[in-house]
Structure 1
Amino acid sequence: MTPPNLNALGPCWEAVIPCIHRAANHFWSTLADRLHPRLPERDAPLFLATLGHLTAGDDHHAGRTALLAALAPTYQHLRIQPHHHPLIVDALIATVARHATATWTPETASLWQRRSHHALSLTHRATTRIATGPAWTPAEIIGRDQAADTITILTLRPHHRLRHEAGQALPVTTPRQPGAWRWYFPANAPRPDGTIELHIRAITGGPVSPLLAHHAAIGEQVWLGTPYAMGLALDPNRDGDLLLAAGGTGLAPLRAIVEHLAATRARRRVTLVVGARTMPDLYDSVTLDKLQTTHDDWLTVVPALSDEPFVEPAAQGDLLTLALAHYQPGQHLYVAGPPDLITHARLRLPAAGIPDNRLHLAETFSRTPLAGAQPKTPRQD
C-alpha cells in the first residue's frame, strides 16, 4: 500500500489558517483541563499556528530552524514534557479535523498523528540543544521606510525589552501568515528605548518577507522569538581591527556591530565594505554617512558597486574583490549576505590567505539537515 503523501497535510492546514483564532479557542479548550501548567489562552493562536505549520509545512531548512528556535523556548517555558505530547496531538488533530472537513480522511488523520508526534519530538530535542530564553514576545511596528525597491526598513517596539547583542539574529513571524517564522538580524545595537530595526528584502514567493515588506503597516503587530548568537557576534575576549563585508541586507548585523563599537568606545579600526549592483541598490546610505562622519577617526565605509560604470574606480567591483583589496593582516573579517555570497566567500577567502581563526562567515542552513540542532547564522527571507 502506498503511504499517504505528506502534501495531503497542506490542504488541511490551509483550511485552518483563515480561522486560526476560532480554531485556537477549540484547541485551548480541549487542553485547558488536561495540560498542567496550562497553555495561556493569549498564546494559543500562535502556539497552534506554529505547531501546525511545523507539522504540515513544506518549509526549507532555514525556515524550519527559525520555527523550532521560536517554538522551543515557549515549549520549555510551559514546562511541556514528552508525556504531554499525546494530549497536545489529540487536541491538534481534533482542531484540524473540525475545521478541515472537506479534506479530512482516515488516511490524513493517521498522517497528522505521526507527523505531529514527530514535530513535538523535534521541539523537545531542540530545547536540549539551544540556549534557554524567554518565550516569544509581541512587537509593534512604529516606523517603516522604503529604503529601496525591494528593501523595507521596519522599526519595532517590543512589548518587553528584548535582550539582544549586535550580530545576533531572531525568529520573526507576522499574524498575516501565522506560524511561518523567518530569521532576521536587528540592524542596531541595543538602544535605550528598546526599539529594533529590521531590514526586510522581499523574496518572491516567500511566505513572510513580502508580507512584511509590502503590507505590514505602522501600528501592526509582529512576534519576535529569542535572539541567538550565530557566529557574527563579537567575541569580547578578542581584539584586533575589523573588516566587515556586507552584501544586501547582510548590512544589518554588520551595521549593528559598528553601532556597538561606537557605543562602547572600543579602540578598533573598522572598514565596512558595502556591496550593491548599482547606486540605487545601495540602501541605508544616509545612516552610513552619519556613522562615518561621526566616527571618521576609526570608521571607513567603502561602497562596492558591481554594475555601476560611472563611479570612481576604487568603488567598482564585486564585494569580495574590494574587501580583499582592503584587507590588512591581523584583521578579523566578517561577511554577511545572501547564501550565494557566503558559499563563494567560504571558498575564495581561505584561498586568498585569510586565516580560519579570523574569518567569520554567515551560515545559511543549506548544507546540514535539520535535527533540532543549535541554530547558526540565518538566511533572511
Structure 2
Amino acid sequence: MRDLDLVAPLDELITDLYRALFTRHPSLRSLFPATMAFQQAQLARAFWYLIEHLHRPEEITRTFTQLGRDHRKLGVRPAQYTAFKDALCEALRVRAGEYWSPELERAWMRMLQLGVTAMIRGAEAALREPPCWRATVTDHRLYGPDLAVLRLLPHETFRYRAGQYTTLECARLPHTWRPYYLADGPGPDGELELHVRRSGPGGVSEMLVRHTAPGDEVRLGPPKGNLTLDAEPPDTLQLVAWDTGWAAVKALLQELASSVRRSSAHRVRRVGLFLGADSLSDLHDIEYLTGLEQRHSWLTVVPMTGGAPTEGRYDRLVLAVTRSAPLAEGRTLIAGPPDMVRTVTDGLVRAGHPAERVVHDPLPTGPHALPRFTQGHGTPGDSMPPGQQVLA
C-alpha cells in the first residue's frame, strides 16, 4: 500500500484506533483482555496480512472467513465491525495529519472491507455450531517444570480433524485466547489432549502448566489448521516437528495407523518422522513414540536436538530432513515454532523439494511478525497465527 508510510508506524496507528474505539463505545472494552499489548500485535499482523495479500483476494477471503467463524466465541456482532471501521477512520486522520486525504481513507476502507465482509460471512455460515465449547480438565501431567500434557472432555460434541488446533481460554485470564494443537485424532470417548510449553510468566501457558488441575473448566474455540491428511494416505510422507509441535504429528500418526488398520487398501510405503527439541530432556512422550515405531514397519523415527552454539539451531534438523528421501516424492508436513518452520521449508525448497508439497500452518507476516508461532499449539505458548483475535 503506497500510503502506508503516511500513517506509520503501524503500532501507533493501532494504539490510536483502540483509543478511538473505546472512547466512542466504552462497552466494547469488556470484550478485550485486560492487557492490550498482545492484542495490538495481533491486529498489526492482520493488517500486514491484508497488505501483503491484496493481490490474492481469494486467499484473504478464505483466511478471514475462518477468522469470522472463530470470532463468534468473542461475542463480536456485525455492528461492532462498523464501530471498528469508524475508529480506524479516526485513527487514520490522527496519524496522517496534514497528509490525510479521502483517497488514503478509501484505500484503507477497501482493504478492511474485504476482510470484514469475509468475517461476517464466516460467522453467518457457522450459526448452527456453538461459538465455543466448554470443557473440563480430566488429567494434568507434568513433563518437567515447564511442560504439561492435559486431557480435556468437552461438554458438547467437538468435531475436528487430526492435525488441527483449537484456541483456548482459561478462567483465570478471561478474553485471552491462545492456540494449541490437538494431540490425538477424534475418538469415541470425546477427550482431547493438549501439549503446553510454558513460554513466560503470567500468560495462558503458565496458567495451564502451573495453575491448572483436574476439574478445572476451560473454553475452546472452533478447530482450524492446514496439517491434515488427504483421503488417501500417500506412499511417502515426511513429518517434521519441534518440541510441542509433536502434538499435531502425534494425531496424524494415529489417524494414519487407524486407516492402515481398517483397510488393506490403505498402504503406506514409508513415513519418516523427524522430531526435534533443544535437548534430550525436552523430548517427551518417548514411550508412546517408541511403541508406535515398533508396531509399524512403515514408520521411521529420527530424534534430533538443537545445534551447537556454533551452528544454527535447526541446521541438524534441516540436514537430516533434506537427505532422508527422494525430494520429488510425497509431502512434508511441518509443525513447530515459526523460525523452525521457515528454516526447514527454505532448506527443502533449496534442495529441490517442490514448494507445493510442503505443508504447514500460517506463519506471522510483516515487520511485526513475532517468534514462536507454535510452542503450545504447537502452537504457541502465548503466540498466535496471523490475524487471530483481530477485533477482540
Classify the TM-score, shorter chain: 0.5 to 0.7
1:163: Cα distance to partner?
A: 0.4
Which aligned pairs between 1:302-313 and structure 2 lie closer than 5 A? Answer: 302-306=302-306
Confirm or deny: 8 A CA contact 1:139 1:156 kept in the other structure. yes
1:300 aligns with 2:300: yes
Which of 126, 146, 171 does residue 119 from structure 2 map onto?
126
Confirm or deny: 8 A CA contact 2:67 2:122 kept in the other structure. no
Aligned to 2:276: 275
Percent of residue pairs bearing the same amino acid type: 28
Which of 229, 235, 244 does residue 249 from structure 1 map onto?
244
Confirm or deny: 8 A CA contact 1:363 1:378 kept in the other structure. no
User: How many residue pairs were aligned?
Assistant: 298
Aligned to 1:82: 79
Query: Please, what is the CA RMSD of the aligned residues?
Result: 4.0
Which aligned pairs between 1:1-381 and structure 2 lie closer than 5 A? Answer: 6=15, 51-53=31-33, 56=36, 58-59=38-39, 60-61=41-42, 72-74=71-73, 80-82=77-79, 125-129=118-122, 132=126, 133-205=129-201, 207-228=203-224, 230-236=225-231, 239-265=234-260, 266-268=266-268, 269-295=270-296, 297-306=297-306, 318-329=316-327, 330-367=329-366, 379-381=379-381
Q: Are the structure 2 counterparts of residues 8 and 335 from structure 1 closer, same or farther at C-alpha, using a change threshold of 3 Å?
A: closer
1:288: Cα distance to partner?
A: 0.7
Alignment deviations for residues 316-372 of structure 1 (CA, whole Å, 9 cap, x no partner): 9722221222223412111111111012123221001111221113322234989xx
Aligned to 2:57: none
Alignment deviations for residues 21-70 of structure 1 (CA, whole Å, 9 cap, x no partner): xxxxxx8xxxxxxxxxxxxxxxxxxx985x23399564232998799567
Structure 2 regions of 5+ residues with no counterpart?
1-11, 47-63, 84-111, 261-265, 309-313, 370-376, 382-392
Aligned to 2:59: none
Could you state the TM-score of these two structures normalised by the residue count of structure 2? Answer: 0.65
1:162: Cα distance to partner?
A: 0.8
Query: Tell me, what secondary structure is at the counterpart of 1:267?
Result: coil
CA distance, structure 2, for counterparts of residue 161 and residue 339 of structure 1: 31
Aligned to 2:385: none
Confirm or deny: 8 A CA contact 1:335 1:342 kept in the other structure. yes
CA distance, structure 2, for counterparts of residue 151 and residue 71 of structure 1: 27
Query: Tell me, what secondary structure is at the counterpart of 1:128?
Result: helix
Query: Tell me, what secondary structure is at the counterpart of 1:273?
Result: strand
Amino acid at match of 2:306: S
Query: Tell me, what secondary structure is at the counterpart of 2:134?
Result: strand
CA distance, structure 1, for counterparts of residue 186 and residue 280 of structure 2: 29
Aligned to 2:91: none
1:305: Cα distance to partner?
A: 2.2
CA distance, structure 2, for counterparts of residue 271 and residue 380 of structure 1: 24
Amino acid at match of 2:359: H
1:379: Cα distance to partner?
A: 4.1
Q: Are the structure 2 counterparts of residues 307 and 320 from structure 1 closer, same or farther at C-alpha, using a change threshold of 3 Å?
A: closer
CA distance, structure 2, for counterparts of residue 83 and residue 247 of structure 1: 39
Query: Tell me, what secondary structure is at the counterpart of 2:162?
Result: coil
1:138: Cα distance to partner?
A: 0.7
1:244: Cα distance to partner?
A: 0.5
Confirm or deny: 8 A CA contact 1:140 1:220 kept in the other structure. yes
CA distance, structure 1, for counterparts of residue 199 and residue 191 of structure 2: 25
CA distance, structure 2, for counterparts of residue 318 and residue 352 of structure 1: 15
Q: Are the structure 2 counterparts of residues 62 and 283 from structure 1 closer, same or farther at C-alpha, using a change threshold of 3 Å?
A: farther
1:192: Cα distance to partner?
A: 1.0
CA distance, structure 2, for counterparts of residue 163 and residue 126 of structure 1: 21
Query: Tell me, what secondary structure is at the counterpart of 1:343?
Result: helix
Q: Are the structure 2 counterparts of residues 62 and 301 from structure 1 closer, same or farther at C-alpha, using a change threshold of 3 Å?
A: farther
Deviates more, 1:249-258 or 1:67-76: 67-76
Query: Tell me, what secondary structure is at the counterpart of 1:335?
Result: strand
CA distance, structure 1, for counterparts of residue 13 and residue 248 of structure 2: 43
Amino acid at match of 1:240: D
Structure 1 regions of 5+ residues with no counterpart?
14-26, 28-46, 87-118, 309-315, 371-376
CA distance, structure 2, for counterparts of residue 369 and residue 279 of structure 1: 32
Q: Which has the higher contact order (CA 8 A, sep 6+)?
A: 2
Could you state the TM-score of these two structures normalised by the residue count of structure 1? Answer: 0.66
Confirm or deny: 8 A CA contact 2:233 2:256 kept in the other structure. no
Query: Tell me, what secondary structure is at the counterpart of 1:326?
Result: coil
CA distance, structure 2, for counterparts of residue 263 and residue 368 of structure 1: 42
1:194: Cα distance to partner?
A: 0.6
Q: Are the structure 2 counterparts of residues 243 and 84 from structure 1 closer, same or farther at C-alpha, using a change threshold of 3 Å?
A: closer
Q: Are the structure 2 counterparts of residues 128 and 323 from structure 1 closer, same or farther at C-alpha, using a change threshold of 3 Å?
A: same
1:239: Cα distance to partner?
A: 2.9
